[in-house]
Amino acid sequence: MKTLSYQTFKPQTQPQNEAAVIQMDDVAETFSSQEHLTKPPKTLIIIPAYNEEKNIGAVLKGIQKILPGFPILVINDGSSDNTEEVVLEHNADVISLPYNSGYGIALQTGFLYAVKNNFSIVVQMDSDGQHDPENIKDLIEEVQKDDCDVVIGSRFLSKNSYKSSLARHAGMLLFGSIASLLCGQKVTDPTSGFQALKGSAIRFAASDNYPPDYPDADFIILMNRCGFKVKEIPVTMHASPVKESMHHGHKTIYYVFKMFLSIFVTLLRRKSSKS
Amino acid sequence: MGWLVTGTLMLILSVSEDAIRWVSGLVGATLFTSTLFFFGLLFLMIICLHFSIRISALTQQVRTLTQHVGILDHEKKILEKKIHQPPWQTSTSNLEQT
């Protein structure tokens, strides 16, 4: 049986291949206020997608319009439709998993890829068009600051067109309260999949500690207990064009049970520092 | 291994009256069949727990393999494209350029 302790994460050295750092005028402008930075960091946008042929094209177009030339990696989670073809048509990269493994595993594949290729910032977003690409710059700018390792885009810190069902809202409120209590800071949107991570936080997400099913409130608590600084910023969240959520029917009950169990196991583990 | 050991023990208990009498006295069972069922169920529970732990470990390994297969397949496709691409053509993908 595995020992219940966290791995120690030591900050990696800067990428050796300086030529590999992406030059993007648009992004450089975003970081121009940061005097200590001479080059934009090597940043990757990861989008897990499962049967999203109808929405993924618009999402990619939206990102490419606002951030032209930005590296985008779609993780095709064993889709049975033409998601992969649509992504390739839009000149984005795609990693296709051999079978449907679930949201958390698809997302972690992106983190593994980012670690392998020395990306220093990773932005994760959903493939259904809920997240506004305009906010990517805000997330990157915020995560660049010294006082945070993970930035979460919260739909509840600003006025949004996003409307959720009563049960879903109650769930978010419950897990948000638990996360706030355990983290000692306000967590308004524990289920947000619109996040930016940097440095050792990316390596942590790529490790075995990452919750494979639903990396939501439990992951925020885990990060907080490991000494990572988590911050929320307001983002625009559109109503999902897909009627059926990832958590529907009996899966809602499973989600609530699994989340409680995951938080409980997280609390059982010993606290550890990130470096 | 566990099956062999438990099977042999259960066989000895079923055949030898002295052995089953001694074990029943030890656990406080009045019926010999209760003793056999008790140890049989205990063994099945331990086996289930053992399998559960093994399956969890295997799931983790399959998960890691799946992720690596996906990444390697992606890298293979990029390399194939580079090999078959004429040198005067530049790559369209942003990740390939990195």
DSSP A158-177: S--S----HHHHHHHHHHHH
pLDDT at A37: 43
Neighbours of A51 (CB within 10 A): 18
A208 touches chain B (CB under 8 A): yes
Which of B69, B71, B93 is the closest to A91 by Cβ? B93
Q: How far is A172 from chain B (nearest CA, A)?
A: 28
Run means of pLDDT, 10 residues per run, chain B, 98 residues: 84 88 90 89 93 95 95 94 77 60
Q: Closest-CA residue in chain A for B54?
A: A1
What is d(CA B66, CA B61) in angstroms, rounded to the nearest whole number? 9
Q: Are A112 and B75 spatial neighbours (Cβ–Cβ below 8 Å)?
A: no
Query: Strands A72-76, A43-49: parallel, antiparallel or unpaired by DSSP?
Result: parallel
Q: pLDDT class for A160, splitting at 50, 70, 90?
A: low
Q: Which two tokens stand for residue A4?
A: 């219940």
| Main-chain dihedrals φ then ψ at residue A72, nearest 5 degrees | -120, 135
- Judging contacts by C-beta atoms under 8 Å, the chain A residues touching residue B74 are 93-96, 113
User: Average pLDDT for residues A256-274, to the nearest whole number?
Assistant: 79
**Is residue A184's pLDDT more than 90?**
no
Domains of chain A with bracketed CATH: 18-268 (3.90.550.10)
ipTM given for this complex? 0.75
**Geometric angle at alpha carbon A204, from A198 and A205, rounded to 5°:** 80
Q: Are A123 and A63 spatial neighbours (Cβ–Cβ below 8 Å)?
A: no
Q: Which of A17, A101, A11, A26 is nearest to A68 (CA)?
A: A26
pLDDT at A189: 87
Per-residue model confidence as pLDDT tens digits over A204-231: 999 988 888 888 888 999 898 888 999 9
Q: Is B59 exposed, middle or buried (0-12, 13-18, 19+ CB in 10 A)?
A: exposed
Which residue is associated with the tokens 């799931």?
B59
What is d(CA A160, CA A102) in angstroms, rounded to the nearest whole number? 28
Question: In this complex, do B70 and A70 lie within 8 Å of one another by their Cβ atoms?
Answer: no
Question: In this complex, do A105 and B53 lie within 8 Å of one another by their Cβ atoms?
Answer: no
pLDDT at A34: 42
Question: In this complex, do B63 and A101 lie within 8 Å of one another by their Cβ atoms?
Answer: yes
